[in-house]
Structures are given as C-alpha cells and as structure tokens.
Chain A
Amino acid sequence: MKQTHLNGEADRPYTLVAELTYRCPLRCLYCSNPTVLSRAAASPSPSANARTALPAKAGASPRAEAQSELSTEEWTRVMAEAEALGAMQLNLSGGEPLARTDLEALISAGRKHGFYVNLITSAVGLSQDRLLNLRAAGLDAIQISFQDEDAEAAARMAGRNVHAPKLAAAAWARAMGIPLTVNVVMHRENLGRIAAIITMAERLGADRLELANAQYLGWALANRDLLLPDRASLDRARATAAEARLRFQGRMEILFVQPDYHTDRPRACMDGWGRRYLIVNPYGQALPCQAAASLPNPVFENVRQRGLKAIWELSQGFNAFRGEAWMSPTCRGCEFRAVDHGGCRCQAFQLTGDAAATDPACSKSPHHHLIQSSRARADLLAKSESAGAPARSGQGGASSPAPIYRTFPATVTVPFPGGK
C-alpha cells in the first residue's frame, strides 16, 4: 500500500524497540506494559514447535509466559529484518530485559546487524560482572529508570525499595564508560523534588536526563488521579528544568516532557502511526506503538507468521492510521494534522472508545472535557493538600485514591545480588 505524506518522506523505521519480556521485579504505578494481554498477543504460530506451544491461558503462569517469549534465534531474525527496512537504533526494553539470560547474545546480534544498541532497564538485578559482560558484548548505551530521588517515595511508586542498587548500577556504568541516560517518570508525587532529581543525575554523571511526565495510558490511566499534577506544580517544575537545561548544556542533556493533559495540544505520538518506530513485543507481535495492543480493531500480526517487511508495508494494523483518510473531520480539516497526526490513537481509544477519534488532549476534541475535568480534580486536590489536609497516596486521604499496582503479567523475581 502506497502512502503519501505532506512531507513526502516515506514510512521507514529508524528504531526497533524490542520488548524482550514483560517479566519485571517492579510494578510501577505508571508502567507502560499492557494491563491485559489478549490471547492473540501471546499466541505463537501453529507452526511453532512444541516447546513454545500456546499456554492454555496466556500468561497463566510466569513459566508459560516465559515459554512463549521469542527465542534468541527469533529475535536475531527480527533484528536482521528490521535492519533491512532501515532501522539503525535498537532499544532492548521490557518489562525488565535483564530477566533474559540471553541478553548478552541479543546485544551481540544487534551489533552484528549494525545497530546502535541501547539497554532500557530498571537495573534491578544487575551486577557489576554482568554489566561488564553486556559491555563486552557491544552494549552502546544504557538508560536506567529511577522513580525518584527519595528512596522511600521511589519504593511507593515501584512497589519495592530498589533505589540503592540503582545508584550502584549507574556508578558502574559511568566507571565502564557506558553513556548513561537517567530516566525519571514525573508525576504529582515527585515533581516537587525535581531540583534534587537533577542533582542526583548530575552526581551520577549522566549524559542525559529524561524527565518525562507520565502518559496516562494503561496502568498510569488506572492511577491517573494519584499521578496527575496540578498546573502550578507543573509550571514550577518546568521552569526548574528549563533553567537546568541551560546550566548543564554540553555536559548533561535535560529533556522535560510535559503531560499532554496540561498542554491542550496532543503529542505527535511515535512521530505518527507506523512512520518511524517498530515495536516487537515479547510474544512476537509487531506494533506501531507500545500501547497499541490495547486497541481492539486493528489486526496486528506476529513475526512468527509473517516477515517484518510485509507486516510493516502491508498489514492492516500498520496501515490503520497512516496518512489522513482515517481521521475525524475535526483533524482532517486542521492545519496541525501533519504536525501531530491527530495525536495518540491509544489515548483516543482509552478515553473515548474510538481509536480514530481526535485525541481528547486536543482542545478541538469534542471529548476535551474529559481532560479538563481530570485536570480540575488535580488542581482541587493540590489546593486541599496545601490547605493542610495531607492526601498522600496509599494513606486513604479523602480525595486521593489508593494505588493500583500492576498484577499481570505475573511479577517474577530476577536474581538480586546483595538484596534481601
């Protein structure tokens, strides 16, 4: 299928995001992993051998789930096929990619196929020896996620106290000369500590600090009232980040990603559907975006059944929201349609039930009131907090909801050196 875009550039992937596993020792309140996993998502092809046979209930046990993950050989083929399409960056992500015992082999395979190989990790379970092995295998860069600068607050967010081993892992990465990105998902609980978070990243010697506000999809949507910041706190944090960005220029790149709930304009999600990114999930489903498996209508295909080139170019799923024909009249007549591509399809679906709707984050959306009312609740909560009624997460404050931790896919334990 031929697609024409206003900028005339063809759809081709630059980045392959390999979600190696959904297993993870943490359960962050804003986790971007699926909240439910459809059977289809976890089904290997009928031709797959008996070892990877379809579990009776997808993800019914961590073991069954692990069995249906793509093998080393399958991932290596996926890398070769993605590289042939033009992908040059490889993000090894999850879940927690360290849970894969073949991570070293996957890194070498990535390098062999010419990728710049990034590991996106919580660093929980990482030992100094393993990091040396990953580096020796050809790892180019590491991104370590921190929940906060304050260990206790971080533990509330991740469901486990792992702040100290994260700090240690970041220090090893620096000592080994591995470029380090510190990633912190920002929300109501930690925005006020942004200055301390920046100092933490500086002390760790990070090359790059990503301060990305939560995107309210999946688990983060379930926890939205607990995470969404009020306007005033957000503005203060943004000003702090802007000042630091100038101060650290050339030493540490600082990125502050606003929550689209407060911008009245949608994000250009994934730079547009099926244009620049190719995601393959642990079970081989190829997706235009990490959250896309939550959508009911597009049919996403599996790399076990079809080559990536055919999936990228021809599949219904990848073509569902390319171009402009699918757009609502609101977007189709809008001057910004080539800029933001109508916003995030997953957000449109999760808030309105219609994946082709204008993203409610946009002020032109007929559903924008959903965003506005949520924003108003966040402002109200902040007011009641500052009036002296602490409504902290998990303490049952009058207006503050209880946290909902991810329960599925099953949380499994990965080796945790020096931990309890």
Chain B
Amino acid sequence: MATDYFPRLSGKARLRVDRVSGATFLLYPERGLRLNATAAAILSLCDGCRNVAEIARAASHGTDIGPGESEREVGTFLADLAKRGLLENGPA
C-alpha cells in the first residue's frame, strides 16, 4: 500500500465489544465483522495519520514478528476492509 495512504475507519463503521464472546466487533450497515485481538489492535492504530508501514511497526512493537511480515499482514487485513468500503484516507 502506498506511503501516502493513511487509513482511518470510515464514519459508517463502529467498534463495539460483544457482550457474549467479549470479542471486538466492527459494525457497519446491517453487518458485523468479528475481529481477533490483532485485528482490533491494528484498527485502533488507524487514526488517519499513520501510513501502513507505521501501523505495522507499531502493531509488531514488542512482539517477535518481523517488520516485513507485519506489514504484509496489516496490508492484507486493511485491503480487505478497504474492499468493503470501510476505510477512508487521512485524518477525520
């Protein structure tokens, strides 16, 4: 993903904790995505000011995941959300 792409969750999406499973859900029109802990952590870093490399670095900080692997993982996840129209570029 481009270095001038600063993803942020689109206004139509909202995060909430599922009271049954404790998992974080990404809610958007008539739908919901169940996020695992990594995905939820990545999304909390998508503030419209960090690009994908920066998000990947922050997400892998303190773990033994290499920067290349982290960037690939983050990139795949964010590309999937972008396909669903759930991301915008730049600060709110």
Chain A: residues with CB nearer than 8 A to chain B? 10, 12, 14-15, 83-84, 86, 88-89, 91, 114, 116, 118, 140-141, 143, 177, 179, 181, 207-208, 249-253
A89 touching B85 by the CB < 8 A rule? no
| Alpha-carbon gap, A250 to B85, bound state (A) | 5
B30 touching A207 by the CB < 8 A rule? no
| Alpha-carbon gap, A323 to B68, bound state (A) | 45
Task: Say yes or no: A118-B30 contact (C-beta < 8 A), given A86-B19, A88-B25.
Answer: yes
| Alpha-carbon gap, A208 to B86, bound state (A) | 12
Partner among A143, A249, A252 whose Cβ is within 8 Å of the Cβ of B30: A143
Partner among B19, B20, B31 whose Cβ is within 8 Å of the Cβ of A89: B31
Partner among A84, A181, A252 whose Cβ is within 8 Å of the Cβ of B29: A181
Q: Can you give 10 A-B contacts (C-beta < 8 A)? A: A12-B20, A86-B20, A88-B25, A143-B30, A179-B28, A181-B29, A207-B12, A207-B29, A208-B85, A250-B85
| Alpha-carbon gap, A83 to B84, bound state (A) | 26
Asked if B16 is at the interface (CB within 8 A of a chain A CB), the reply is yes
Closest to B30 in A: A118
B28, B30, B32: most-surrounded residue (chain A CB, <10 A): B30
| Count, A-B residue pairs, CB within 8 A | 56
Closest to A84 in B: B19
Smallest beta-carbon distance A415→chain B, Å: 27
Q: Which residues of A contact B30 (CB under 8 A)?
A: 15, 89, 91, 118, 141, 143, 181
A253 touching B85 by the CB < 8 A rule? yes
A143 touching B29 by the CB < 8 A rule? yes
A89 touching B32 by the CB < 8 A rule? yes
Give 1 or 0 for each of B57-92: 1 = CB within 8 Å of chain A CB: 000000000000000000000000011110000000
Asked if B18 is at the interface (CB within 8 A of a chain A CB), the reply is yes
A207 touching B85 by the CB < 8 A rule? yes
Q: Which residues of A contact B83 (CB under 8 A)?
A: 249-250
| Alpha-carbon gap, A88 to B27, bound state (A) | 8
| Alpha-carbon gap, A224 to B29, bound state (A) | 30
Partner among A88, A91, A208 whose Cβ is within 8 Å of the Cβ of B16: A88
| Alpha-carbon gap, A181 to B12, bound state (A) | 12
Smallest beta-carbon distance A162→chain B, Å: 23
Q: Which residues of A contact B14 (CB under 8 A)?
A: 116, 140
Smallest beta-carbon distance A285→chain B, Å: 22
Task: Say yes or no: A141-B12 contact (C-beta < 8 A), given A250-B85, A253-B84.
Answer: yes
State the 9 A-B residue pairs at the shortest beta-carbon distance, nearest first: A141-B29, A179-B12, A86-B20, A116-B27, A179-B29, A118-B30, A12-B20, A250-B83, A249-B83
Q: A86-B20, A116-B27, A179-B28 are in contact. List 11 more A-B contacts (CB 8 A).
A: A86-B19, A89-B27, A89-B31, A114-B16, A118-B29, A140-B14, A143-B29, A143-B30, A181-B30, A249-B83, A253-B84
| Alpha-carbon gap, A207 to B84, bound state (A) | 9
Q: Which residues of B contact A118 (CB under 8 A)?
A: 29-30
Closest to A14 in B: B32
| Alpha-carbon gap, A143 to B85, bound state (A) | 16
A140 touching B12 by the CB < 8 A rule? yes
Smallest beta-carbon distance A313→chain B, Å: 13
| Alpha-carbon gap, A353 to B40, bound state (A) | 48
Closest to A181 in B: B29
| Alpha-carbon gap, A15 to B28, bound state (A) | 12
| Alpha-carbon gap, A84 to B19, bound state (A) | 8
| Alpha-carbon gap, A355 to B20, bound state (A) | 31
Q: Which residues of B contact A15 (CB under 8 A)?
A: 30
A140 touching B29 by the CB < 8 A rule? yes
Q: Which residues of B contact A208 (CB under 8 A)?
A: 29, 85
| Alpha-carbon gap, A251 to B45, bound state (A) | 23
Q: Which residues of A contact B31 (CB under 8 A)?
A: 89
Q: Which residues of A contact B11 (CB under 8 A)?
A: 177, 179
Closest to A13 in B: B20
Q: Which residues of A contact B16 (CB under 8 A)?
A: 88, 114
Smallest beta-carbon distance B47→chain A, Å: 20
